[in-house]
Amino acid sequence: MISEKRLKELNRFEKILDYRFENIQYLNKSLTHKSFAYESGKQTKNNERFEFLGDAVFDLMVSDYMVKKFPDYQEGVLSKIRSVVVSEGNLAHIAQSLNLGEFLLLGKGEEQSGGRAKPSIIANALEAVAASIYLDAGFEKARQVLLKYFLEGMDKAATTNKYQDFKSELQERTQLEFNTVPQYVVAKDTGPDHDKTFEVNVFINGAVFGSGTGKSKKEAEQQAARSALESGATPF
């Protein structure tokens, strides 16, 4: 049973989403982290299975939009754009815009370590929310409620080089021309555990050819690879 206090919290999140659930249990489950479920006992269900389903909902929603919006784009380009749009970083950004972290059920340890702001937790929870709407009312309703939060990111990624996989491009070039692969090393990280910024250097044959920063190591590595490709100091 959902307590009256929890029901009021869920109702507030419904207003943010602009969607009223037929089965509010779906929403509650989508916002229940495994740490809370573990501390509460075996009968409490967490949102991990919903994350799995929500990932597929987002993939279909974004793919359907892009195929119709960008009829001249090849499959490879569409895949790269989609990977950016449904990435953890973008999902976390959308989750933050919805204040999703405020409504999560977290275990004490996760709560104390800043779990409500952790990109991985809120991004996964957003996927779970997508699944909860899908189960409650179907794919069309999920698209109606959630697609609008992706439109700006999709259009931006499609009209800039943001979707490019700079790491793959750099690796292909270094393998072809120098028979080696780039090495990425974290130079430093700053900020609290739940909001770190990473600085990464990329080495080619033992020399630094680029550096980049990001809110995740992957993002910083991509920026380092881009720096190496664009810098006049590169061996290309």
The one catalytic residue in 127, 136, 219, 221 is: 127
Q: Determine whether 135 is exposed, middle or buried from the number of CB atoms within 10 Å of its CB (0-12, 13-18, 19+).
A: buried
3-class SS of residue 23: coil
Marked catalytic residue, from 9, 55, 169, 189: 55
Instruction: For residue 2, give Cα distances in angstroms to 9, 29, 171.
Output: 11, 11, 52
Cα separation, 9 vs 11, in Å, equals 5
47: Cβ contacts below 8 Å, ≥ 6 apart:
29, 30, 31, 32, 33, 34, 124, 125, 128
| 51 tagged catalytic | no
Does the annotation count 72 as an active-site position?
no
Residues near 36 by beta carbon (within 8 Å), at least 6 away in sequence: 44, 46, 104, 105, 106, 107, 110
Catalytically annotated residues? 55, 127
